[in-house]
Structures are given as C-alpha cells and as structure tokens.
Amino acid sequence: MNLEIKDLRVFYGKIEAIKGISVSVNQGEIVTLIGANGAGKTTTLKTISGLRPVTSGSIIFNGQDISKLPAHERVELGISQAPEGRGIFPGMTVLENLEIGKYFRKDRKAEMQEDLDKVFQLFPRLKERVTQAGGTLSGGEQQMLAIGRALMARPQVLLLDEPSMGLAPMMIQNIFNIITAINKELGTTILLVEQNAQQALQRANRAYVLETGKVVKEAKASDLLNDPDVRAAYLGTGAH
C-alpha cells in the first residue's frame, strides 16, 4: 500500500488553496498533516478522497493514478474518510450508519457481522447505542461512529479529518488511543489531519507542516515535537 501525492494544486474558483503539495504515505504508517486554519489541510484530504477536483498534479494509490476517479470509486479501491464535522447521517440509527459504510462491498452480507463486531470491539459505546439515531449522539460518540463507519469499508488507508474537533479533553485522549489501536491492531494506514498538533505528533510516525497551501516542513513526528519553530507556532510553550 502506498499513497503518493505529487505536486497537487487545487483551486476554489480563482483562489489557489493548495499550491503544489507533495505527500507520501507508506503501508502501516500514521502520517499527520498539521497547520493553522486555512493552511489547506482539509482541502488536501478532500482532494485525496475525491470530494474536490484536482486542478493539477496527481494522486497515486498503489501505482494507479486516481486523481480523475469519482469519490465512490476511490472507496472501492480502499480509501475511506471520516469527514470533517463527522458527517454522520443524523436520521439513521447507529446500525444503519454503520451498514451504509459497507454500501459498495459486493459480499456485504457475509462480511457485515464480522465487521460490526470489529467496530463494536473498538467502540463499545456504539454497541450500547445501536438503535439510537445518529443525530442524538454526543460529539464524541458521533466521532466514534464516523470512524467506525469508515472502517466498515475495510479501507487500506483511513483519512481522518480533525477527529478531535469540538471534543472534551478526556474524549480526545480516548479517540486518539483508538486511532493508534486501529493502526496497530488492524494494520490500517492512517492519514491524520489535526489542529491538535501535540496529540497528532505524539501518535504519528511522520508529519508534514502546512502553511497557506504549501508544505513548509516534513520530518519524523518526534523530531517536530522538539522543533523550536513548530513548538512556537503550533504547540505553545508551557502547555500541552
């Protein structure tokens, strides 16, 4: 498994949001993109999953250029995303939300129970709420549901867009523990976009720092944790 983004450019109308980004994600890694608001993190992720069209550059997944494929076909190839703001279906139950995560799978009936068990093992809370409507879950539970739903598609690479957004500190810890567990136990490669740089850098293998649509730094996550520039810009000083 290998995801390679080469010199990616994305425009919103006349505004260039991504100005030539190159990112590579290898099998089994957790890679994180960090940066301030408007740096282009979410746009990069949306372009990889296919929600935004590519202006120029290429996205290569397992040797195949997928930059022209519609989003739903990229899911079939093994790229799943838990979108920003969770994007769960508020009027469907937790179970229905999870089931639709398997929408495209040919033998979804045979796989369903196995994968549901897998998700419920990662997120026992979801099992308790299985008949409850998605819109009535708490923020943390919705995030669990969004990640669980993305896992139902048996992705090779999981794209996570700000999983910590709007969550209480305890829940952030919890979610990041589960993300690490998904990577270690299921072997799923993870591309993580985060504003919570502290947590993201602690969990990730490698990291890219984005600033106004460009990669300004690329290094091992542990190195960036100690990088004075990064500390000053994204980590704050005393706090963590």
Partner 1 sequence: MSTKNSLRNFNIRDKGAAIWSGWNRFQRTSFGIAMILLAGALPFAGNYSFSNFLNTPISNFADVLVYPVGMFVLMSLGLNIVVGKSGMLDLGYVAFFAIGAYTMAICGKWTDLNTWEILPLGIAFAMIAGVLLGIPTLRLRGDYLAIVTMGFGEIVRITALNTQKIGGPNGMANVPNPPSIHTPVGVLDFNIMTPNSFYWFVLILILLTIWMIRRLSVRRPGRAWEAIRQDEDAAELMGVPTLKYKIWSFTLGAGVGGAAGVVYASKTLYVSPDAFTFNISVLILSCVVFGGIGNIWGVVLGGVFLAYLPERIRFISNARQLVFGLTLVIIMNFRPDGILPRKKREKLHAPAAESGAK
**Binding-site ranges for partner 1 (CB under 8 A):** 49-51, 70-72, 75-76, 80-81, 83, 87-93, 96, 100-101, 103-105, 125, 129, 132-141, 149-150, 153, 167-168, 170-171
Amino acid at 128: E
Complex with partner 1: residue 89 or 120, whichever CB lies closer: 89
Complex with partner 1: residue 143 or 183, whichever CB lies closer: 143
To partner 1, the closest distance from the beta carbon of 202 in angstroms equals: 22
Cα of 131 vs its chain's centroid, Å: 26
Complex with partner 1: residue 93 or 195, whichever CB lies closer: 93
> Tokens in use for 23?
């990112």
CA distance 91 to 175: 24
185's CB contacts (< 8 A; 6+ apart) are none
List residues bridging with 34 in a β-sheet: 194, 209
To partner 1, the closest distance from the beta carbon of 159 in angstroms equals: 9
Complex with partner 1: residue 69 or 219, whichever CB lies closer: 69
CA distance 90 to 111: 24
To partner 1, the closest distance from the beta carbon of 198 in angstroms equals: 20
To partner 1, the closest distance from the beta carbon of 225 in angstroms equals: 27
Complex with partner 1: residue 29 or 161, whichever CB lies closer: 161
To partner 1, the closest distance from the beta carbon of 90 in angstroms equals: 4
CA distance 12 to 224: 30
CA distance 121 to 170: 19
